[in-house]
Amino acid sequence: MERIITSIIVAMLLILSLHAQQVGSAYIYAPAVITSEQVGTLTTISLNVTYGNGQVSVIGPSSVGSSTIDSAQTAVAYAASYLGVNKNSYNFIYTINDKNTSVSGPSAGLAFTVLAISALSHTSLLHDFTLTGTISYNGSVGLIGGIYDKAGIAAEKGLSFIIAPYASSTSFERFMYYIVQQNYNIPIVMVSNVSQALPYVYGIRQPRMMNYSLAENYNISAIPEANLSCTSCNLSAFSDLTNFTINFTRQTILGISSNYSQLKSEMLNDTSQYSEIASKGYLYTAADFSFLTFINAFLLENVHDANITSARSLIGNVSNYCAMQTPPQLTNTNYEYVIGGEMRQELGNITAANAAAMLNTSQTTDGVLESIYTAASAAGWCLAANKMYSLAASMNGTPVAVSPSLAGAATSAIDSASAYGSSTYLDAAINEYKSGNYAAAIYAATYADTLDNTLLAENYTTNQMLQIANSNIENSTFGVWPTEFALQARFYIDQGTIGRAVPNSSMIQEGYITSVLAKRMNSANKLIASSFVNTSYGQVPSQQLEELQQEISQIYYILVVVTALLIVILVILLAMLLRNPEKTVPKTRGRIR
């Protein structure tokens, strides 16, 4: 009898032991990036849940980073909360099938969470997908890096779709998702939280190719013709600049591969709209919109250069092009084109350098593409600068120079803009100031002081912004830049009000901010123009005059010293002659004839 009881107890303990060892299990395919090689890799993560005391462990690789372990703990906490169970009643053992490697980073958070929910609820997962994203304690999914390389390996292994964190429609990450999807022909399913991912991992919902659009639709027919009267403006030159910008954008779009035919068609249609906008007299508006389209087109045209070697060559070419531009002689008629070109050339130089630095620190193909995207801005700025220099060189006018007295105004402008933190515009202003180009420094600082101030419109209602903007527009016509900015402000306001019962607040805000830039550029132009020193007919600007006076003084002192030395030498010679008079007449040998 005692033996029977013992056997029963042993059997029960064995059953309990087996039950404790396995509550539930699940596995999933998870992507990662081998940063040393910038390639994707696909691994299997499995989870074994047993009864226990809430322990969470991650095993498999030779080492596991603390961020990965933290991510697993967060995943377990949310999964238990989601299912309404006590996590401290279980132990969770995650196994990453990556032996002899080091694993770090939080991007497996979503995978850890889905595994925990599946294992605890005994719900089977599909195994034809992969997913990536961080996880928070409230179940929200956060952005990660390396989507290009991760999707690439998923497509290579024949998986059907990839789940990724939600990215806003205006973000670079959403643009990347579309590029990845079109390049590898694999659907990207965006989710903001775990509950949105579950229907896909269980096969309840079918994935679809995500939609993405760059199309812009403006109500061009409703806006009136531009009607601001510009003081001292060469609008024919600015029209040439606008057409040039639209044309180089269109040429770039035409170079995009058929993988992105939808975006290609949309952007070509957009350039047609920009031409219509220009035909109504909103020249800068058309050029500005075209410039922004060019940046997207440049990346799509160069997606095939998504490796470090090709990208380095591409960025190097952009950098060299920016560095080789040379501004023409400044005159009283071309100064806006020269100074505007100098500012944009400096912006291009800075941005090209930033793109190169970004590439050098890149660990994923995402980083390579982002560096190319950054280089696109540099290319656009320097193309515009080169055209401005060409237009400026063809304009008649009196040669002038900027007075050194403008340095104080440039310092004040930079100090004001510095309140909003570092930016490309502020860096350009500082660099131009250091080189003595105070006019370009004022231009760049004015941009920074306006466009970098994120609180510029915070204290105004929509109606107040409308009133201020309208006043700014009417008083911003001293030169082509203020006038064109004022017209762009008018364009935004018309787009935000015409045909609308309620004004579009975001459009009104854009109009208000642009009107402030117009007003400030109006003041900058007046200040710069008033500082001009005529350099024609032998007149020399004060800075050069000071340098010339210093050189003359140096030459004078040298001449004084040399003259003194000559006098000393002459005195010595005379003294020698007086001491030896007989040697002054040489004796003649031979016959006297």
pLDDT band at residue 590 under the 50/70/90 scheme = very low
Gap between the terminal Cα atoms of the chain: 168
List, in sequence order, every residue forming a beta bridge with 29; answer none if it has no partner: 44
Q: Please give the structure tokens belonging to residue 317.
A: 């070419």
Question: In angstroms, what CA-CA distances link 568 with 294, 559, 564, 571?
Answer: 74, 14, 6, 5
The Cα–Cα gap between 132 and 162 comes to 8
Residue 35 confidence (pLDDT): 77
- Is the pLDDT at 3 greater than 50, yes or no? no
The predicted model gives 533-538 an average pLDDT of 69
List, in sequence order, every residue forming a beta bridge with 47; answer none if it has no partner: 26, 94
The predicted model gives 465-474 an average pLDDT of 97
Phi, psi of 478 (to 5 degrees): -90, 85
The Cα–Cα gap between 360 and 342 comes to 27
pLDDT band at residue 469 under the 50/70/90 scheme = very high
Q: Is the dihedral of CA 511, 514, 520, 523 positive or negative?
A: negative
Phi, psi of 61 (to 5 degrees): -70, 165
Residue 67 burial (CB count, 10 A): 15
Residue 555 confidence (pLDDT): 60
β 400-402/532-534 pair status: antiparallel
Of residues 574 and 396, more confidence is placed in 396
Q: Which residue has tokens 């560095």?
A: 323
- Is the pLDDT at 105 greater than 70, yes or no? yes
The predicted model gives 211-225 an average pLDDT of 93
pLDDT band at residue 179 under the 50/70/90 scheme = very high
The Cα–Cα gap between 61 and 39 comes to 18
Q: Are 233 and 284 in contact (CB under 8 A)?
A: no
Of 33-37, 148-152, 260-264, 398-402, which gets the smallest average pLDDT? Answer: 33-37
pLDDT band at residue 593 under the 50/70/90 scheme = very low
DSSP result, 74-141: HHHHHHHHHHT--GGGEEEEEEE--TTSEE--STTHHHHHHHHHHHHHT-PPPSSEEE--EE-TTSBE
Residues 6 or more apart whose CB falls under 8 angstroms from that of 483 comprise: 228, 230, 233, 476, 477, 518
Of 98-107, 542-551, 564-573, which gets the smallest average pLDDT? Answer: 542-551
Q: Are 154 and 130 in contact (CB under 8 A)?
A: yes
The Cα–Cα gap between 76 and 91 comes to 10
Of 35-49, 126-140, 194-208, 447-461, which gets the smallest average pLDDT? Answer: 35-49
Phi, psi of 180 (to 5 degrees): -60, -50
Angle between helices 438-451 and 424-434 (to 10 degrees): 160
Amino acid at 526: K
Q: Which residue has tokens 């029209």?
A: 239
> SS3 letters for 468-525?
HHHHHHHCCCECHHHHHHHHHHHHHHHHHHCCCCCCCHHHHHHHHHHHHHHHHHHHHH
pLDDT band at residue 560 under the 50/70/90 scheme = low
40-81 confidence digits (pLDDT tens) = 899 999 999 999 999 999 999 989 999 999 999 999 999 999
Residue 577 confidence (pLDDT): 65
18-34 confidence digits (pLDDT tens) = 444 678 999 999 998 88
Q: Please give the structure tokens belonging to residue 471.
A: 């006043």
Residue 582 confidence (pLDDT): 46
The Cα–Cα gap between 413 and 428 comes to 12
Residue 32 confidence (pLDDT): 87
β 134-135/141-142 pair status: antiparallel
- Is the pLDDT at 373 greater than 70, yes or no? yes
Residue 538 DSSP code: T
The predicted model gives 440-461 an average pLDDT of 96
Q: Is the dihedral of CA 285, 287, 290, 291 positive or negative?
A: negative
Angle between helices 438-451 and 407-417 (to 10 degrees): 20
Residues 6 or more apart whose CB falls under 8 angstroms from that of 228 comprise: 473, 477, 483, 486, 487, 490
Give the CA angle between residues 133, 136, 137 to the nearest 5°: 150
Q: Are 305 and 311 in contact (CB under 8 A)?
A: yes
Angle between helices 335-360 and 424-434 (to 10 degrees): 120
Residue 535 confidence (pLDDT): 81
Q: Please give the structure tokens belonging to residue 561.
A: 């010293």
285-337 confidence digits (pLDDT tens) = 999 999 999 999 999 999 988 899 999 999 999 999 999 999 999 999 999 99
- Is the pLDDT at 545 greater than 60, yes or no? no
The predicted model gives 115-137 an average pLDDT of 96
The Cα–Cα gap between 37 and 15 comes to 49
Residue 150: alpha-carbon gap to chain centroid: 23
- Is the pLDDT at 538 greater than 60, yes or no? no
The Cα–Cα gap between 2 and 6 comes to 6
Residue 414 burial (CB count, 10 A): 20
- Is the pLDDT at 591 greater than 70, yes or no? no
Residues 6 or more apart whose CB falls under 8 angstroms from that of 127 comprise: 27, 28, 29
- Is the pLDDT at 154 greater than 80, yes or no? yes
* Of residues 397, 71, 380, 376, the one with CA closest to residue 234: 397
Q: Please give the structure tokens belonging to residue 562.
A: 């040399």
The Cα–Cα gap between 466 and 508 comes to 7
β 102-103/63-64 pair status: parallel
The predicted model gives 126-141 an average pLDDT of 96
pLDDT band at residue 551 under the 50/70/90 scheme = low
Q: Please give the structure tokens belonging to residue 136.
A: 């928070």
Q: What is the mean pLDDT of the chain?
A: 90
Angle between helices 335-360 and 480-497 (to 10 degrees): 70
The Cα–Cα gap between 577 and 569 comes to 12
* Of residues 420, 487, 569, 468, the one with CA closest to residue 225: 487
Residue 592 confidence (pLDDT): 26
**Buried (b) or exposed (e) across 230-256, using 16+ Cβ within 10 A?**
beebbeebbbbbbbbbbebbbebbeeb
